[in-house]
Chain A
Amino acid sequence: MTSMDAIGVPDRGQDDLHEHLLDGDLTIYDPRSRRAVFLNRTATATWGCADGGRSDGQIAAILAEQFDQDIDSITSQVSQLLDELDDLELLEQREPPRRRR
């Protein structure tokens, strides 16, 4: 399963992100970019950790413990996901530590 799936939704709108959590998976609708972004469980956890106070490595360490994974195997995946969220302009800061809008 891919960690993220984005669907374009044309609109003019507000700046606030709309979040819908269902069975651990999160949908974020961004009125500014007119996109709905679907995050699976691990991507949702990553999103939740991006509070502006943690580096990519620190987020990877938290997720490694939470999902019982080897940190070396997930660090690059976490950074890649955060880069994708950056590209979708869902993060406020493009450099770590990154924070949700």
Chain B
Amino acid sequence: MIVVAATEWSAVAAEIADDVTGRLLASAFRSLEHREDSQVDAPIVARVSKGSDGYVDVTTAAGIVTRSAGMAAALDVATEFNRELLDRCMHFAVHAAVLSTRGGTLALPAESGTGKSTLAAACLRQGFGYVSDEALVVTLDGAVLPYPRPLALSRWSRTAVGITENPRSGATSKHCVDGEELVSPLQLGQVVFSPAAADVRAVIRMRRRSGDPLLTRLPRSQGATELLRNSFNHYRDPAGAVALVHRVAERAESFDLGLDDPSAAAELLASHFGVRESDSWIHRPC
């Protein structure tokens, strides 16, 4: 039996069984940063048990949520925690890659599978600060809260952003499932753990475009539309969410980013917005 407890914005392995699955889970959760200042009000607990058939059941308060094998179980636990943590989040939240720059935060709202993590990884290597590749979390006054987590990158993504496959390079982790590798953002660049990162400076809509990347300005109302369209908890206070996305969009610029090559797009963003300068809330790779 393995019990893994997640606190707000962090996850810790509380008890790990001494078997292969346990070691895999422990490895997976070592990729998550433990926050010393986390409040353990109501930890999320998942119980992981291995049946005689060799499969692993992941059980939460909602019952058995997944049945899988080996490393996939670890990812299922992480996914479940992620879902639960975001569901518990009382702040307005949007599916987005979020990056820190010299003059504020860039939000790239987009659905899953549109390349947010790959572009975030490429931007990290350009010198942007990492805030999240999953969620833009905004307080009522528009401040951005960090939501860091390991980046799941496919082989194509790792190649596209120039992450070496040499395990001795230290550039990547060794957690790999279905061709996707969990990569700690700390291994790629700077991570912003500030309690409230700078306000959103730009809302950037991503779309596929062949050839060179192109950044074009959009009406700010379009930025508000993108934020609302990609929000996953606006239903709690829809009128408040509509008002908040307009407050955020009003203080930001809105852009359309057409891209094919994430590294080229990251270079374009760096030249346009400038990269992050150092401050005490940033962790850098060793």
In the assembled complex, B174 has its CB within 8 A of some CB on chain A: no
B225 surroundings in chain A (CB, below 8 A): 5, 7, 27, 38
Known: A7-B229, A20-B246, A22-B250. A31 touches B239 (CB 8 A): yes
Instruction: Report whether A11 and B239 are in contact in the complex, using a CB–CB cutoff of 8 Å.
Output: yes
Complex-state Cα separation, A38 to B220, whole angstroms: 12
Query: Given A20-B246, A22-B250, do A29 and B220 touch, yes or no (CB 8 Å)?
Result: no
Check A22 against B220 for contact (C-beta < 8 Å): yes
**A residues less than 8 Å from B194 (CB atoms):** none
Check A13 against B220 for contact (C-beta < 8 Å): no
* Least distance between A7 CB and chain B CB atoms (Å): 6
Q: How many residues of B are in contact with the other chain, CB < 8 A?
A: 18
Asked if A96 is at the interface (CB within 8 A of a chain B CB), the reply is: no
Kindly identify which residue among A20, A23, A36, A38 contacts B238, using a CB–CB cutoff of 8 Å: A36
Docked-complex contact B238 and A25, CB < 8 angstroms = no
B278 is an interface residue with CB less than 8 A from chain A: no
Report the Cα distance A27→B221, complex, angstroms: 8
For residue B224, CB closer than 8 A to chain A, the reply is yes
* Number of residue pairs spanning A and B whose beta carbons lie under 8 angstroms apart: 59
User: Known: A23-B220, A23-B221, A27-B242. Contact between A11 and B235, CB under 8 A?
Assistant: yes
Q: Which residue of B lies closest to A25 (CB)?
A: B221
Most buried by B among A5, A13, A27: A27
Alpha-carbon distance between A23 and B249 when the two chains are bound, in angstroms: 11
Cβ B242 vs Cβ A22 within 8 A:
no
A24 and B243 alpha carbons, distance in the complex (Å): 16
Is A9 part of the binding interface, using a Cβ–Cβ cutoff of 8 Å? Answer: yes
- Max chain A Cβ within 10 angstroms of own Cβ: one of B219, B238, B250: B238
**6 new A-B pairs (CB below 8 Å) besides A13-B238, A20-B246, A22-B224?**
A10-B238, A11-B238, A18-B242, A26-B221, A31-B239, A36-B228
Spell out B's residues near A (CB within 8 Å). 219-222, 224-225, 228-229, 234-235, 238-239, 241-243, 246, 249-250
**A–B pairs, 12, beta carbons within 8 Å:** A11-B235, A18-B242, A20-B242, A22-B220, A23-B219, A24-B219, A27-B224, A34-B238, A36-B238, A36-B242, A38-B225, A40-B221
